[in-house]
Every structure is written in structure tokens, then in C-alpha cells.
Amino acid sequence: MLTMIPFILSGCDLQRNMLYYPGAAMPAPEVLAANNMTYWPSGPDSYRGFISAPRGRPVRGTVIVFHGNAGTADERAFYAGALVPLGYRVILSEYPGYGSRKGELGERSFVSDAKETVRLAAATYGGPVILLGESLGCGIAAAVAGDASAKISRLVLITPWDSLLSVAQSKFRFLPVRLFMKDSYDNIGNLKGFRGRVAVVGAERDEILPVKHAQQLHNSLPADKKIWLIKGAGHNDWPYFVNALFWMEIMAFVGEGDA
């Protein structure tokens, strides 16, 4: 999830102060076991994320989750709890610089790494591969999906924005924020040529990314699209406002036609 804080213009690094709050804690083995998760594609020394999959039943596809800007991927086990029972393999992708992963914080690093994660998942498991982004993760998912070489046709964006510049300008109306931005995360621009299916999910009382940003992104999409509004939910507490029916509806839309 995304946390916005005020920043000081003198010597500020807007990219860090506004966007990135990496967690360093690694999950205990018993926590992974309790959530039916393991390191993926290998152990903690070379992992790219965490995986959970249905047991004893056909797998409908692979959902790769790109999480919000704080904490670590294993803290998003609720996605596996919701989607594995629906028949999907779930990979909780971890960002460079988060957990014990090496690498730089930033859009270029994250998107490049995500493309490799998607490529490896598709090569290992086949299709379909569905990308799910949450808050900051929407920017990564949109950038990957917008690259035709990734061959992504299904996308779920939860509490997304239209462009980072739009968000920054709405937060800091009287400051020349464009001059201090290193990353763009332009979801509208990245998805302007995307022709796949997109589910957009906004939180009605989102105090971090007002829901207008999700609506503006949805309105801009040329793709087959649908928007959900989670009534009463804020940016960080929205998981408490959804149930199994919500996830069934989302996956019925983006996963239509899956075998």
C-alpha cells in the first residue's frame, strides 16, 4: 500500500520520501508453511518472491502480484488465501531492495525485474498469466503489461493512479513537483496501447490515492474494462471490506475463458 508524506524541497528525494518503504524482515518457516507458501523460484538466497498453488486440483492460471510500497511480499498472503481456492497459482513478487533481495529502488529497476519474473513464470508454467497490481504495484504491472513482448492480456489494478505526476500535483498544488520526480509511473501512458482485459478497483474513501485517480485511469483505457468501487474502504484497509464473492467477480471477469 502507498504512504504519502510531506517532503522538504531543499535536498529532497521525492522518489524515496513519497514512494519507497522497503521492509527487510524475512518470514519464519512456520509462517510460510501456515500460508502454504514457499520461496520462488528457489530458496531465500536467490528468490524472486513467494508461491502458493492449489493442491490436488487443476490450475486455471498464474496470478503474479505486485504489492504496495511498504513492507514485503510475504505480508500479502491474503491474496493467496483468496485466489488459490479459486484455482489460481499465486506468485507474490518481491521488489529489488525489499526483503533480502539486492538491487536499486526505483521504477526502472522494478519494471525490469518484474519483466524477468513474468518471463520466468510464463516459461515455467505456461499461460494464462494474470498481473495484479496494488497501489505502487499497479505502476509496475501496467508497465509490464504495456510492453507487447510480455504477452499479457489480463490485468487487475487495485487502488491505482492515473499518473504519478497527477497524484503529486494534487497533493502539492503550489510546488513544481515535476522538477523533483525521478520516476513517472504513467499508467495511462503505459496502457494506451493495451488491448487486454483490465479490472480496476477503487476504494471509496481512499485518503492516499483519491478514487478519482482510479476512475480517470479506467476512463482512459482502450481495453475491455470494468471498474469496482469498494464502499466505505480506505487505501490500506480495503481487504477488510471484500469477501470471497468480490474475488470471484474479479477473476470471472479477467479470467473468462480460462480452462
Q: Map residue 50 onto helix, strand or coil.
A: strand
Higher pLDDT, 13 or 228: 228
- Residue 71, H or E segment: strand 70-71
What is the distance between the alpha carbons of residues 259 and 251, in angstroms, rounded to a whole number? 13
Count CB-CB contacts under 10 A for residue 163. 20
- Report the percent of the chain where pLDDT is more than 70: 85
Do the beta carbons of residue 109 and residue 62 sit within 8 Å?
A: no
Residue 198 has, within 13 A of its CA and on its CB side, a CA count of: 31
Mean pLDDT of 153-175: 77
Pick the more confident residue, 60 or 167.
60
Among 3-7, 174-178, 215-219, which stretch is predicted with the lowest mean pLDDT?
A: 3-7
Whether the Cβ atoms of residue 235 and residue 206 lie closer than 8 Å to each other = yes
Inform me whether the pLDDT recorded for 155 exceeds 70: yes
- Residue 4 above 80 pLDDT? no
Nearest of 140, 145, 185 to residue 166 by alpha carbon: 185
Confidence label for 92 from pLDDT (cuts 50, 70 and 90): very high
pLDDT score for 12: 46
- Tell me the domain boundaries of the chain: 14-19+26-254
Whole-number pLDDT of residue 8: 37
109-117: average pLDDT: 98
Out of 161-175, 211-225, 237-251, least confident range: 161-175
Please name which of 2, 12, 144, 149 lies closest in space to residue 70, comparing C-alpha atoms. 2
> How many other CB atoms are there within 10 angstroms of residue 242's CB atom?
18
Check residue 177 and give its pLDDT.
Answer: 59
**What was the pLDDT predicted at 16?**
62
Average pLDDT over residues 213-222: 95
Residue range 24-37: mean pLDDT, rounded = 94
We find that the CATH architecture of domain 14-19+26-254 is: 3-Layer(aba) Sandwich (3.40)
pTM across the whole model: 0.91
Q: What is the mean pLDDT of the chain?
A: 89
Of the candidates 93, 88, 76, 97, the one whose C-alpha atom is nearest the C-alpha of residue 39 is 93
The dihedral formed by the CA atoms of 6, 22, 1 and 240, expressed in degrees to the nearest 10: -130
Q: Up-side HSE of residue 10: CA atoms within 13 Å toward CB? A: 0
DSSP run (H or E) holding 133? strand 129-134
Confidence at residue 183, expressed as pLDDT on a 0 to 100 scale: 79
pLDDT of residue 5 exceeding 60, the answer is no
Which are the contacts of 154, defined by CB distance < 8 A and separation ≥ 6?
A: 128, 129, 130, 131, 196, 197, 254, 255
Report the distance separating Cα 172 and Cα 96, nearest Å: 28
Model confidence pLDDT, tens digit, residues 46-90: 999 999 999 988 999 999 999 999 999 999 999 999 999 999 999
